[in-house]
Amino acid sequence: MTGPRTLPRRIGLFQATTINMSQMVGIGPFVTIPLMVAAFGGPHAVLGFVAGAVLALADGLIWAELGAAMPGAGGTYVYLREAFQYRTGRLMPFLFVWTAILFIPLIMSTGVQGLVQYLTYLWPSMTTGQGDIVGLAVVALVLLLLWRRIDSIGRITVVMWAVMIVSVAAVILAAFTHFHPSLAFTWPEHSVDIGRGGFWLGFASGLTIGIYDYLGYNTTAYLGAELKDPGRVLPRSILFAVLAVMVIYLGMQIGVLGVIDWHDMLDSSNVASQSVASAVLEKTMGKGAADVVTVLILITAFASVFAGLLGGSRVPFDAARDGVFFRSFGRLHPRHQFPILGLIVMGVITAAGFVLARHVGTSATHPPLAVLISLLTTVMVIVQAFAQIAAIVVLRRRQPGLARPYTMLLYPLPAIVAALGWAVIYCYADKANPGVHPIEWSLAWTALGVVAFLLWARVEKTWPFGPKQIREEFLDPEPAPAS
């Protein structure tokens, strides 16, 4: 195989934090505030963002320890490879790459959908076909901008991060200039009755939406091989991003609820149900200001897709270099040094997911975006969230000598909190989405991945059809395969 074997380390702490924040904010809170209100049935929907922040922070501490100790391209792939190689060979990292190459670009497709949704505020006569063309053009532009060296991408990301900060700040400031506490803090009677099953069903739906909005705090873990001083930069970029975005989300949620009557967000004929931030600006500062901020929101959505595909395209790279995935995914661009096939494939799946979601009808109570979020998070829980929680425990036992520049604060409490949060999301997924069966789909996809692994392992003559390859890469500078 030709080309360099390593990725250049050129991303510092500020750029790393902006990459995470750009991916986290994106279009998420601008399109999911109405979904969160629908899940809870009132302005107490703010609880969903608080719960999402707690889960993101607890899970972020897991990523911080694993990423600082094993800063390789691919993030979860590397952690699962190191932790589970002793008993199940390459099964777990294979399953992760198998699933990530689908769920990461599908998450990006929700960003493209949100972008087109907000564009209807500026272009109300846009047809479905025109929206399809716009979305596909957005994906093509993202691929074009990512077709360059990582240091150039870092500068682009900082610019888009600045636009994101301006857009969310504009919405928050506009909201609090016309803030009505009675709208934001008058909760329906018995809205927080934890003794009712209905509350927990709404809470589970809200937590699913909330963690979706925070997803992206781990983007730099996929870029671990490209970070300067990763033992310091990676954990700080995760923690700083989660804390900063938590403040942004709470300010935006409370501010919006203090301007827009929550009932309007549930009315499909009201602009607040589709473009709630634009509705806030129009009500507080007029149509002109709303148009300007809508443009900034569109740029923010674009930045989210940009950052997501940047990190996601690196996931299959390390796996391919290890011979755990199709080897063609391990080829770098000869001049710009980025994974070529990973970027192309994830871009194509992003485009396909966007078009498919727009043409699959769902009921009014389960809009396409909410259903897609549930499917994505449910699949992710099995092969990433639960698996990484187990990995951090296994690695502390199997590799006690592993250098850990950062260790989880209050271990194992954050891991327990994360496990409980992900369990709530998973166990309530079917009840929150009747007729969609996200649990069954996640299990079916995982089972199909196991079958694919067995076929691949038989061809490669690896476990269970051959010896296990024990590679303690981050313990030994030059590990030797052992059966």
Predicted confidence (pLDDT) per residue in 375-405, tens digit: 888 989 989 999 999 999 999 999 999 999 9
Dist CA 286 CA 255 (whole Å): 17
pLDDT at position 425 over 70? yes
pLDDT of residue 6: 59
pLDDT of residue 477: 52
Determine the average pLDDT of the residues in 218-240: 89
Percent of the chain with pLDDT over 70: 92
Q: DSSP 3-state helix, strand, coil percentages of the chain (rounded to 5)?
A: 70, 0, 25
pTM: 0.85
pLDDT at position 370 over 80? no
Lowest mean pLDDT among 48-62, 133-147, 329-343, 407-421: 329-343
pLDDT of residue 2: 43
pLDDT of residue 479: 43
Residues comprising the chain, all counted: 483
CATH number of 13-460: 1.20.1740.10
The torsion angles phi and psi of 339, rounded to 5 degrees, stand at: -70, 115
pLDDT at position 252 over 50? yes
pLDDT of residue 22: 77
Query: 3-class DSSP state for residue 223?
Result: strand
pLDDT of residue 30: 86
The encoded tokens of residue 178 equal 């016309």
Determine the average pLDDT of the residues in 152-168: 76
* Cis peptide upstream of residue 412 (ω within 30 degrees of 0): yes
Lowest mean pLDDT among 56-60, 275-279, 339-343, 408-412: 339-343
End-to-end C-alpha distance for the chain, whole angstroms: 26
Q: Give the mean pLDDT of the chain.
A: 86
pLDDT of residue 453: 92
Q: Which residue has the higher pLDDT, 330 or 427?
A: 427
pLDDT tier at 1, thresholds 50, 70, 90: very low
Determine the average pLDDT of the residues in 342-365: 78
Dist CA 369 CA 28 (whole Å): 10
pLDDT tier at 197, thresholds 50, 70, 90: low
pLDDT at position 241 over 90? yes
Lowest mean pLDDT among 256-260, 347-351, 431-435: 431-435
The string of pLDDT tens digits covering residues 428-481 is 998 888 877 889 989 998 999 999 899 989 988 889 999 888 888 888 555 444
Determine the average pLDDT of the residues in 19-36: 85
pLDDT of residue 482: 43
What DSSP string runs through 375-429?
Answer: HHHHHHIIIIIIHHHHHHHHHHHH-TTS--SS--TTTTHHHHHHHHHHHHHHHTH
Residues 17-52: b if buried by 16+ CB within 10 A, e if exposed:
bbbbbbbbbbbbbbbbbbbbbbbbbbbbbbbbbbbb
Q: Where are the domains of the chain?
A: 13-460
Q: Which residue has the higher pLDDT, 90 or 367?
A: 90
pLDDT of residue 285: 93
pLDDT at position 357 over 70? yes
pLDDT of residue 366: 57
282 and 205 in contact (C-beta within 8 Å)? Answer: no
Percent of the chain with pLDDT over 90: 46
pLDDT at position 363 over 80? no
Residues 261-296: b if buried by 16+ CB within 10 A, e if exposed:
ebebbeeeebbbbbbbbbbbbbbbbeeebbeebbbb
